[in-house]
Structure 1
Amino acid sequence: MAAPTTLPALLTSLTQSLSSALEVTPKIAAIEHQKDGISLLDVKNELLLSYLQNLVFLILLKLRNSKPDSEKTDEDDSKLDESVRSKLVELRLYLERGARPLEEKLRYSIDRFLRTADDVERERKAAEMEQKDSGSDDDSEEDSEDESETEATSRKPGELSAGPKFGALVSDVATEKSRDGGAPGVYRPPRRERQVMDAPQRRDKSDRRGIKSHTMEEFVASELSSAPLAQPSIGTTIVQGGRKMKTDAERKEEAERREYEETNFTRLPKESKKDRAKKAKQSGRSNRMQFGGEEWHNLGEGVDRIDRLTKRKQSGGGVRALLDKSRKRGIDTTDGPRGSGMGPGIGERFNKRVKVLEGGRRDRGK
C-alpha cells in the first residue's frame, strides 16, 4: 500500500490510526507489566505512539507555515522542522531495524501461543453454552470433567517443544559447584558415529588410455586435412633465437591470455621460471634438446648404444681360452727343477698380475 501524498488523504489515514489505537488502548492497559525488564509489545507501542505524535506535530508545523501571517521567522521554522524530521527518522529506524527483526524471530512462538489461547477461549465458550443448555448441576460437573479431559487429550506433545526454553538460559550454580568440588573421575570420550572411508574410485577406460601426441595431431591437421587453415604470420612462431617453434596449444593459450587481458583491462603476472620448468616436466620435454622447432635426442646417446651392442667380450671368446682355463697349472709353469725362490725373479709374476688387475680396474671405471 503506497503512502498518501495529499494532505486530506494523510489526515484520513492519521484519523483511522488514532481511532484504532484508542480502541486497543484499554486492552493493552489491562495487561500486567513485567517486573523484570520491558516487553516487546510495550516497546513497539511506545515507538508507534511517539511516531504518531511527531507526525501530527510535523503536520501542524506545515499548516502553520502555510499561513501568510506567521509570527516566527523562516529560519526558526526550518530548524524546528528539521529536528522533527530527524526524530521521525530515528523512530522509523527503531521500528524497522529493532522491533521488526525481533518480531520475525518470535513470530512462530507467538503464533503458536495465540492459537493455543484461542483454542482455550473457544473451548471455554463451548463449555459455557453446554452448561446453559443443561439444567442440572450434576450435568454441569460432568461437562466440566469432560472438558478438562478433552483439553488434556487435545494438546499435542510437541506444542511446547517449539517455544523458547528460558530455563536453559540461566546457569545452574548448584550443579557447577558440585562439578567443581567433586572428585575427578575417569574421562569418557563422547561416542561418535563411525566414519567409513570411501573406497577409491576406479578410473574409467578413457582415463587409462595413453596420452595423445600433440605433435601428431598437429601434423594430421596441417598436412593430411583438406580444410582451409589460418596460418600465423612468418616469424611469429619462432622463439628462443630459432631454437624452438610455438605449437598450436601454446598459440591458443597465448590468444586466450591476451583476450582475457583486453576484456578485463588487467595484466596477468608473467609465468615464473619454476612454472615453466614444471610445465616442461609435465610435457616430457625437460630431458630433450630442441633446436629449430624440432626435438633432438643427444647425439652421443645413439653412438654409445651401438658401441655397447657390437662390442665383443674379451674373455671366454674362443676354444683356446677355454682350453687354458681347463688347465690346473699356469702357462709359464715348467716341469724342470724348482728354484730356491731367492733368485732375482722373485715377485715378478706377482707384480705383473697386480699391474694387469689395476689396468682392468682403470678401464672398467672409464
Structure 2
Amino acid sequence: MDVLNKSIQTALEALPKTSSSSSDGVSLVSLKCQLLLSYVQKLAFLMLVKLDDESFLQHQDVVEKLVQLRIEIEKIRPLENRIQYSVDKLLRAAGRKEEIGSIKEPENNGNDKDSQDSLKLHYKPNLSEFADDSDGPASENNVVKEDDKSSISSEDEEEELRSAKDGIYRPPRIRAVTMDSEKRTRHRPNHLVDEFVSSDMSSVPQSMPSVGSNLEKRGRVIHADERELQKMRERIEYEESNYTRLPKLSKKDLKKSKRVKKHDYGGEDWSLLDRKFHDDDFSNRKLDLTSRAKRRANFEDVNDGSLASPVQIGQSYRKRKKNLKRR
C-alpha cells in the first residue's frame, strides 16, 4: 500500500495544476476518457478490497457500476470508428498549425476578399505547361506560348464568370480532342489456317487419336466446329437422361449446324480444299447500285451466249450449283 500511495502521489505532482479547457474539443473523446478513468478507479477499489480479504458481496453496487461502465465503453467503440476520419483530420490540422500560421494576413481590410481568392488559387495548376512544344524556332515558340497563355487565361476567366453567374460547374478546357472518324476494317480470322499453324508448323508435341477411332465424333474438326459439336452432344445427352425435349433450335443455330456438316466426308473436314478467297458471309453482303448493275449486265451477257471471262463463268456456275443444292 505504501508503494501504491507513493506512486499515486508522484503522478499527482506531475500533473499540471490548471487543467486546459475541453469545451472546444470532441465531446465523445472526453466522455470516453471520463469513462475509462472511472473504470480504472472502480478496478483499483476492488483490488484493495481483494487485498484486505473482504467479500465482493459487501460492495455489490461497485461491481454493478463496473459492469455498466464496461457496457458503455463497448457502445462508444462503433461511434468512435465513425468519427475516426474527422478526428484524424483535426489532428493533422493541429500539426500543421505552425505552417498555417506562417501565412500573413492582408494588411488592408478592404482587400480581404481578393486576398482570400488569391490564397485559394495559390495551388492552381499552370495550364500553359500542358501545351505541346512546336518544332519551329525559339522566337516563334515564345510567341506561340504567349498567345496560348493569353487565350487560356481569357477562356478560364470566361468560364469562371459563367459558372459564378449560374452556379454550374464547368471543367477547364485544357486541350481540344478530336474523335477518329475513320472506320477500321475488322479482319476475320480463318480458323483452318490458325489450326494448321498451331498444329502442323509447331514443334510442340501433341496427343492425337489413332486413325479411325474418332469417326463417330466426326473425326478431326476445327476448333469452332468442335465447340458446336460439343453443344449438340450435351443437348442430346440432356434430352436422353431427362426424357424431355428441349425447344427447337433457332434459325441461326440450325444454319451453324448445317455449316458444320457441309464439308464432312469420311470423318474429316475437307473445306480447306474447296475454300473460296472470300467467305460466304462476305460474298452475301448487299452490294451497292453500281456493283449490282455490273453483275446484272455480266449475267445477261452470259445468258445471251456472248463471250465472258472465266471469273464470270465461275460465278454463274457456283450460283447454279447453290440453287440445285437448295432443291
Which bin holds the TM-score, normalised by the shorter protein?
0.3 to 0.5
TM-score by length of 2: 0.39
The structure number with the bigger radius of gyration is: 1
TM-score by length of 1: 0.36
